[in-house]
Amino acid sequence: MGNPHKCLMIGAGGMAGAWIRSFLPTFAERLEVVGLVDVNEAPLSQSGDFLKLPADRRFTDYRRALDAVEADFAIIVVPPAHHTDIANACMTAGLDVLCEKPVADTWEKCLAMVAAQKQTGKKVQIIQNYRYTERILTFKDVLTSGRVGRLNYLLGRFAADYRVRNAWGKFRHEIPHALLVEGSVHHFDQLRNLAGGDCLTLAGFDWNPSWSSFDGESSGLYVMRFDSDVRGLYEGNCNEVGWQTSWHQEYYRAECEGGAVILDADNRVRVMEHTGGAHYTVADVPAIRPPLQGHQAQIGQFLDWLDGGAAPETVLSDNMKTAAMLFAAIEASETGRTIDVAAKAAEAS
Ligand SMILES: NC(=O)c1ccc[n+]([C@@H]2O[C@H](COP(=O)([O-])OP(=O)(O)OC[C@H]3O[C@@H](n4cnc5c(N)ncnc54)[C@H](O)[C@@H]3O)[C@@H](O)[C@H]2O)c1
């Protein structure tokens, strides 16, 4: 193995704190954090101490960090409104980029990141950790094994109790279309992943119940069609009082030619198969256990890519098809129309 890749870590608190303390230590031999940025002094100091970084490697402005530190790539874990400015500056400075989802908080900023990537030729990967969890790998394996025949349609459901202000982190309770921008982008990506195709059209709406703790829209219902001839239905709710299917407990159901595959909050993957007449069997599927899951799987893929390996599934160019679903959902909500997602995604190609 060669020298570790030099990493500029942008974001030190919130989710970035989990990256620094839980995800990155696994890769201690493959990457070295050589600089840390956060606009907020408290997380900068706490995470800087954890990383044992000297004071001259800690920055409150990413532009100063890019001037002062020699790095091979940047990890960006700050709110989506800042992703494009930071990613584009990093690419211009010659760094590859591993960035948290969503690509950005507006479609125009997503396109601007694509333009910078094309201009600089740098590698950019967007995190979609939920594709690589044990429960989803197991669910997808049943679908692709052919055990229940062809896939007809998919249901995805996310529902969490965020009725207390700031229960989902401060900025999410303040931004427009909070469910979609911060939540549903994961589930749209998952529906693409499970459908084995890209979204063609999408319709539906998001809204904000009068009793919610959000300024922006926090509930949503959408239907969609994929180019794999699969249909999808999505329910998202940040105001759930009853049946919780929150993070890592999302409900997915695949209705197939020969049965159904069901994944609920208990994380068991069940297959319901028709055995003739009015008879059905219900069986648990043994879990697939990959060596690295979620974020760690994605960090490993990115480092392999830097080392000359294959491009990961969630590179920017591919993840723009997920971003197109997100911004089509916003457009559908605002216009009441069915949106041509394929045409939107083509704007980025
Ligand atoms: N993939 C996942 O499972 C997952 C989970 C949670 C969050 N996220 C993503 O991680 C990102 C950060 O979310 P969060 O909840 O940690 O947000 P947050 O509000 O907690 O911010 C994270 C850190 O970024 C810092 N920051 C804000 N603006 C900055 C800037 N311009 N420059 C440098 N630092 C800045 C903040 O001070 C904070 O310490 C978002 O894109 C979010 O969608 C992903």
Tell me, yes or no, whether 271 and 139 share the same domain.
yes
Q: How far is the CA of 259 from the centre of ligand 1 (A)?
A: 41
Nearest residue (CA) to ligand 1, atom 38: 13
What does the block give as tokens for 80? 């989506």
C-beta separation of 103 from 339 below 8 A = no
If asked whether residues 205 and 118 sit together in one domain, one would say no
- Give the model's pLDDT for residue 1: 62
- 231 plus 119 within the same structural domain: no
User: Any idea of the CA torsion for 139, 144, 147, 148, to the nearest 10 degrees?
Assistant: 80
**Which range of residues forms the domain containing residue 269?**
131-291+323-346
Asked if 18 and 91 sit in the same domain, the reply is: yes
Ligand 1 centroid to Cα of residue 42, in Å, is 14
Closest ligand 1 atom to the C-alpha of 76?
Answer: 11
84 with 225, same domain: the answer is no
253 phi and psi, to 5 degrees?
Answer: -140, 130
Residues 171, 256: one domain?
Answer: yes
Give the residue, out of 8, 10, 15, with the most ligand 1 atoms within 8 A of its beta carbon, to mutate for a pocket test: 15
Q: How many domains does the chain have?
A: 2
DSSP assignment of 94-154 equals T-EEEEPSSS-SSHHHHHHHHHHHHHH---EEE--GGGGSHHHHHHHHHHHHTTT-SEEEE
Residue 165 belongs to domain with CATH number = 3.30.360.10
Instruction: Based on the fold, state whether residues 120 and 238 are members of the same structural domain.
Output: no
Rounded to the nearest angstrom, the distance between the alpha carbon of 185 and the centre of ligand 1 is 15
CA of residue 74 to ligand 1 center, whole Å: 14
Which of 19, 46, 64, 78 is the pocket-test mutation for ligand 1 (most atoms within 8 Å of CB)? 78
Q: Are 123 and 27 members of one domain?
A: yes
Q: Supply the pLDDT for residue 130.
A: 98
CATH code of the domain containing 111: 3.40.50.720
pTM of the model: 0.97
Please check whether residues 48 and 149 belong to one and the same domain.
no
Report mean pLDDT in 10-residue bins for the chain, 349 residues.
92 98 98 98 98 98 98 98 98 98 98 98 98 98 96 98 97 98 98 98 98 98 98 98 98 96 97 88 95 98 98 98 98 98 97
One domain, residues 173 and 257: yes
